[in-house]
Amino acid sequence: MKKLNARDLSNFKLVGGLDVYKKKVVFTVSEINLEKDDYFSKIYLYDGRKVKQFTSGPKDLNPCFSPDGSLIAFTSKRDKENKEAELYIIPTDGGEAKLLTKFKLGIREYEFSPDGKTLAVITPVELERKKKSEDVHILKEIPFWFNGVGWVYGKRNHIYLVNTESGRKRKLTKGTLNIHTLKWSEDGNKIYFVAQEDREKKPMITDLFVIDLKTKRIEKLTDSKWRIGDVIPLEDGTFILRMSTLERGIATNTHIYHFNPETKEITKLTAKLDRSAYNSLNCDVRGPSRDTIVYKEGWIYYIATDGPRANLFRVNLGGEIERVVGGNRSVETFGVGDYIVFNAQDAITPTELYIVKDGKEKRITAFNDWITEYKLSKPEYFKVKVSDGMEIDAWIMKPVEFKEGKKYPAVLEIHGGPKTAYGYSFMHEFHVLSSKGFVVIFSNPRGSDGYGEEFADIREHYGERDYQDLMEVMDEALKRFDFIDEERIGVTGGSYGGFMTNWIVGHTKRFKAAVTQRSISNWTSFFGTTDIGYYFTPDQIGGDPWSNFEGYWEKSPLKYAPNVETPLLIIHSMEDYRCWLPEALQLFIALKYLGKEVQLAVFPGENHDLSRKGKPKHRVKRLELIVGWMERWLKR
């Protein structure tokens, strides 16, 4: 059988976001084209019997049924000369797609009105128009840029109404409200939306608003205390909210709540399950997903990260919770029609489409059956009881051509976040390393999502218990698995995992090679240069650089650069506004100045999502660099 390599990235079919109407399902399938160094996507339709290609592409996404199921709207970029986002509509029975309108700065979200005659579209809008010849950026607010988006100063997300017959559009909202998501009222006379009121002073707060379509009067329904992610209006004037109360800052789990705007009373419906109400598992071959909650027949359906798995749950207004789709896998997105439909993957199976009907599950697609021709290493679970008594989930992947009695080099992988998780989702990177003869070890240390708020809360304690957990996982792996060569162990991770890689090489000499990716090296510069630094750092490290300068420096890996003896490869993207390039440059220059073994690989035109959404050729190059560095230092 074949062994998976970096260039096999082009084989993956990214089965993505879906919508359902009765028995019909529309979804996207994206392809990774190495030759053209680009992504291409088409929309497919499942009619309850078979799957067929529905649009020709090349970049059709985000399909959505009209309320009566007769039409499908979708976004696209079919005009190669025009960079604007295009909004199309097509009859469900087939025919030519009709271009309704275009939006200069993209389409964030859209939804049909109850009568199907109007689409409410959220799109970025410039508050002040710049002269076309003007190339100077005059900044008056923060954040002024955002990862994966670029310059955001002077822009806000607003709502436009688009007629589904004529394509005529009109702007509904204005001002500095920054709108995230919306829902129509049942009678079509109002739109409820979630928005930031002050993204500079209160960047973590979002509120619920309602706008009357006749008067354009906007009313604020919440009191600027919460971080609301999604909303469902109910017939009695109350709401279902997916939100975080921020009691533990960013470490607070997102839950499903019932909210009464008259009494301001909120009820946590998912109180019995201390888990985040979304999918936070890591994956590097994930398709576009629609992160949604659905209300049907008294139940609210939602995805939650439960340890190393993401499952579909439902909860009623009485707080009764049921697991609807379980198993050691990652449910990516879902819909509820005449049956439940969902996309899912696991550690050795890329994403496909499934349905659950009459309690029986059926797989509908086979876009990634090519993977059966490859020999993969299936992660083996082991539990580690660490020194403070907590149990940590961990996994080991043997080399693909594993032989008893032989010693192998190993790589410890560390996830980002820190409030994400590893588990039963597909990681191309892990399979490439195991196919190259490496043992791969990964785990969910303190700070990870899926194990409750207390477990996830490492605020002001970065590099402490989380670091200990990782080292004790490594100790247990060496104790249990005698095929690991303890003299040939490497470590790598990205974002928070990059911070932790930097921290590790400054605090131990046990690793013989390290690759740090999109990392943080200095909390003070991170605070002052990145898109989220000005609120993420005070929340996670405590205070600000003026009130807690010593604390910021104490938790900065750059402080410990003189201790580094591990050969380090730094991988960073030039347009990574989440962890800006200076984080890599400072560490690289410091280590070179100190005479350490270090290299820096800078990827132009890429951002923080290089490993997941970067240009295909760059993604392959990144994997080749990681494998090459580990082979150089662990196999010689």
pLDDT tens for each residue of 518-549: 999 999 999 999 999 999 999 999 999 999 99
Phi, psi at 623, each rounded to 5°: -65, -40
- Looking at residue 290, its pLDDT comes to 79
- Written as one string, the DSSP assignment of 517-547 is ES--S-HHHHHHHSSSHHHHHHHHT-S-TTT
pLDDT at 636 over 80: no
pLDDT tens for each residue of 63-99: 999 999 999 999 999 877 778 999 999 999 988 999 9
CB 154 within 8 A of CB 125: no
Sequence-ordered list of residues with C-beta below 8 angstroms from that of 173, at least 6 positions apart, any chain: 158, 159, 179, 211, 218
Does this model's pTM top 0.95? My answer is: yes
Sequence-ordered list of residues with C-beta below 8 angstroms from that of 36, at least 6 positions apart, any chain: none
CB 197 within 8 A of CB 210: no
* Percentage of the residues of the chain whose pLDDT score is greater than 70: 100
The CA–CA distances, whole Å, from 590 to 89, 148, 179, 495, 562 equal 55, 28, 42, 20, 8
E strand segments, 189-347: 190-196, 207-212, 218-220, 227-233, 239-244, 255-260, 265-268, 294-296, 299-306, 309-316, 321-325, 330-336, 340-345
CB 24 within 8 A of CB 46: yes
The CA–CA distances, whole Å, from 567 to 37, 312, 564, 633 equal 31, 43, 8, 8
- Looking at residue 410, its pLDDT comes to 98
- Looking at residue 133, its pLDDT comes to 82
Report CA torsion sign: 623, 624, 628, 634.
Answer: positive
d(CA 230, CA 255): 11
CB 182 within 8 A of CB 218: no
d(CA 574, CA 580): 8
Tokens, residue 259: 């909210």
User: If you search the block for the tokens 């929309």, which residue do you land on?
Assistant: 43
**Left, alpha or beta for 114 (phi > 0: left; psi -120 to 50: alpha)?**
alpha
- Looking at residue 94, its pLDDT comes to 86
- Looking at residue 378, its pLDDT comes to 98
pLDDT at 550 over 80: yes
Catalytic residues: 495, 608
Domains of the chain, CATH where assigned: 273-371 (no CATH), 377-634 (3.40.50.1820)
Mean of the per-residue pLDDT values for the chain? Answer: 97
Band the pLDDT of 291: cuts 50, 70, 90: confident
d(CA 423, CA 265): 36
CB 280 within 8 A of CB 450: yes
pLDDT tens for each residue of 594-631: 999 999 999 999 999 999 999 999 999 999 999 999 99
Band the pLDDT of 128: cuts 50, 70, 90: confident
- Looking at residue 83, its pLDDT comes to 83
